[in-house]
A = this chain, B = another copy of it.
Amino acid sequence: MAPAETIPIPFLTAAKALTPKLSYTEEIPKDVVTFVPDDKAFLRHTKVVQYNASMLEDKWFSSGDEFTLDFGGHRTGYMSFYLDAQGENVDCPARLRLTFGEVPGDVVEDFYPSKSWISTSWFPHEEAKIDELPGQVNIQRRHAFRYVRVQVLEVSSKFKICFRKIKCHAVTSACKKVAPVEGSDFNIIDTVGLRTLRDCMQTVFEDGPRRDRRLWLGDLRLQALVNYVTFQNNDLVKRCLYLFAGLRMDQKVMASLYERPEPRVSGDYILDYELLFVVTLLEYVEATNDISTGRELFGICQNILERNHQQYIKDGVFQMTPGVWYFIDWHDDLDRFASMQAVFVIAFKAAQSLANKLDISVDYTEDIRLLSEGSLALYDQDKGVFLSNGQISWASQAWMGLAHVLPQEQHIRAIQIAMQNPDAIRANTPYCYHYVLEALFKNGARDACLALAKDYFGGMVDRGADTYWEAYREDDSTFSPYDDHHNNSFCHAWSCTVSWFLRL
């Protein structure tokens, strides 16, 4: 059966129909806390519990007062409280400042001045002026947070205010309850991963529920993988695939998109992400057996492969082209040539598998052969690693490992050699780490994969992660791809895949 026989559905209409209903969960704060500077703590501050948050019912605040709430865990949601007021005369509005923290630094350190090259409008603070006192206050903006710093900026001297019934109305489209994997070593590591995915799962898979809040194609693949084995909201994956399909520009599947006010793409295009659309669709069909969606979108996969092959591949070898964004990792020194070569192999292989599964007649055997040959040419037999313009990196070994151009044990060895080489370019983000882990796993090194996952994600947990972080350097909590850690996401889509590995 050929794809032309499927009934055409406008992709955006289909995506809209798949908009999930979010579940709402009320959470209450656990403690009122302070933080003391601590050079020995990875997150630079140590928490000190002042009193149980239930005691706020008896605390009365004036101008200049403040307190910091700890909800005990990360959530994406809306804050509300009942603002009581008592005194001689409740004669003016209350002006408050609220600062929402994913990590202690958010509620302790000054946001300004900032040298971030992305907008500081993401910084999670806001002012609230409450005219009707006492009364219910529902903060309209959605935040992602564990901590909230509450500052009473201005009330009059004639009354005081009391914060009652403080709540976080948490939202997610991850509605299914999922038990963490058993085993004390991995239970918490998995829980943090599940929480990360849960808080990113909204009406799309957001990259970070605090900053960006958009759907990135590269992140989608990783979230979808975890979703299939946990929350199983597979229609959300389908919705995201339709959104990308419906918002192509000049045929291209773009790198990211926004849902609101209307679905639209950002200007960003990332070649490796577009190629991964094919992989993501294959995995969706494998997970759901939704042959019909696979057939609807297969034409887009063909277009992706054939267009990009024509543009970037010469004699089976990837041609680096200035001005095109290859992501692979946030790393200034990384040479991406070998990785991109591998991504082409991976995408063509995925398309072939998908076509076979969908009973669509295409044959990419020759393309795959040539691309694999081009890949093998980068393998240095003596060193036992793939070189990317002479550079040894974890990324190159990882992507080549998933391209499966050598026997499994050689791929495992390549990864391990690179990781043991202090001069190799390391993985800088959980995204890149994921591909290292996946390459180990897919080549049969399950124990090595889990040991590394335990070391890496467990290290984040040990260093204070409630949800996994967008950027993580074991020796520097202020590392940021954006030149300001306050603009990092501390709950990030591409960092949740440990929960996938643990269930394979």
Contacts of A212 in B (CB 8 A): 91
State which residues 111-128 of A face B: CB under 8 Å: 118-122, 126-127
Known A129-B141, A134-B261, A135-B261; judge A122-B267 contact (CB<8 A).
no
What are 27 sample pairs from A and B whose C-beta atoms fall under 8 A apart? A63-B119, A88-B267, A89-B266, A89-B267, A89-B268, A90-B258, A90-B266, A91-B118, A91-B119, A91-B266, A92-B118, A92-B121, A95-B121, A119-B156, A119-B157, A120-B154, A121-B129, A121-B155, A127-B127, A129-B141, A131-B213, A131-B260, A132-B260, A133-B261, A134-B261, A135-B260, A158-B267
Interface residues of A, dominant DSSP: loop
Which B residues are CB-close (under 8 A) to A89? 266-268
Contact with B along A313-341 (1 / 0, CB 8 A): 00000000000000000000000000000
Least Cβ distance of A205 to chain B in Å? 18
A93 interface contact, C-beta 8 A? yes
A90 to B155, CA, bound (A): 37
Contacts of A120 in B (CB 8 A): 154
Complex interface bits, A134-167 against B, C-beta within 8 A gives 1, otherwise 0:
1100000100000000000111111000000000
Contact with B along A251-263 (1 / 0, CB 8 A): 0000000101100
Residue of B nearest to A94 (CB): B121
Q: How far is the CA of A132 from the CA of B262 in the complex (A)?
A: 9
What's the Cα separation between A88 and B254 when bound, in Å?
A: 14
Copies of this chain, tallied across the complex: 2
Taking the closest CB of chain B, its distance from the CB of A278, in whole angstroms, is 25
List CB contacts (< 8 Å) of A244-287 with chain B: 258, 260-261, 266-268
Q: How far apart are A150's CB and chain B's nearest CB, in angstroms?
A: 15
Determine how close the nearest CB of chain B comes to the CB of A83; give it in whole angstroms: 10
> What residues of chain B lie closer than 8 Å to A88, measured between beta carbons?
267
Which chain B positions have C-beta within 8 A of A126? Answer: 127, 129
Report which of B141, B156, B268 forms a contact with A121, defined as CB distance below 8 A. B156
**Of A90, A92, A127, most B-chain CB atoms within 10 Å:** A92
Q: How far is the CB of A421 from chain B (nearest CB, A)?
A: 37
Q: A127-B126, A127-B127, A267-B88 are in contact. Are A121 and B93 (CB under 8 A)?
A: yes
Do the beta carbons of B119 and A155 come within 8 Å of each other? yes
Of all chain B residues, the one with the shortest Cβ separation from A265 is B89
Given contacts A132-B261, A261-B132, A261-B133, contact A122 B92 (CB under 8 A): yes
Complex Cα–Cα for A158 and B212 (A)? 14
**Which 5 pairs across A and B sit closest by C-beta, in order of nearness?**
A119-B156, A121-B154, A92-B119, A89-B267, A89-B266
Q: How far is the CB of A63 from chain B (nearest CB, A)?
A: 8
